[in-house]
Amino acid sequence: METIICYVGGSARGNPGPSAYGVYITDAKGSLLSEVGKGIGNGTDNFAAYYGVMVGLQTLQGVLGAKSMSTEIDLRLDNEFVKKQLNAESPINEPGLVPMFIEIYNMRVASFPHLNLKLIYHDENKEVDRLVSEALDGKG
């Protein structure tokens, strides 16, 4: 089974403050398949991280199409809070995150049966950090 690695993240300056997400997708050998980073207005770090996961899955759908059903996806993020909520290990206490949680859940069920969420260290998410910073600085 083919493996695709999708790095995602988001950040806010001020928390809450200006926020952005980043998505960086590679094949198993590290070749870039897609990248995107965009500002999303004022929000929290957690809101931006959720947004990154949501856009990451949407981007994967565009890259893989029907192959998403037979591809192993390693979704790597450095936000433990978001990972635990998406894996049903922790409750969602912020009502504003619930709609994105539902959207992500529905995409997982419909298109990504082989999705694995992996928590990584912040320094392992450098490309996503670059995309987020560029978006926040108006360069993305």
CATH code assigned at 113 = 3.30.420.10
Q: Which residue has the tokens 């909520």?
A: 85
User: What is the pTM assigned to this prediction?
Assistant: 0.96
Which residues make beta-bridge pairs with 37? Answer: 22
Q: Cα–Cα distance between 37 and 26 in angstroms, integer?
A: 15
Long-range contacts of 26-33 (CB under 8 A, 24+ apart): 27/2, 27/3, 28/2, 28/3, 28/4, 33/4, 33/63
Range of the domain at 21: 3-136
pLDDT higher than threshold 80 for residue 132:
yes
- Quote the number of domains for the chain: 1
Report the pLDDT averaged over residues 59-82: 97
Residue 95 has pLDDT above 80, yes or no: yes
89: pLDDT strictly greater than 80: yes
Integer Cα distance of 15 and 43 in angstroms: 7
The phi, psi pair for 41, rounded to 5°, reads 85, -165
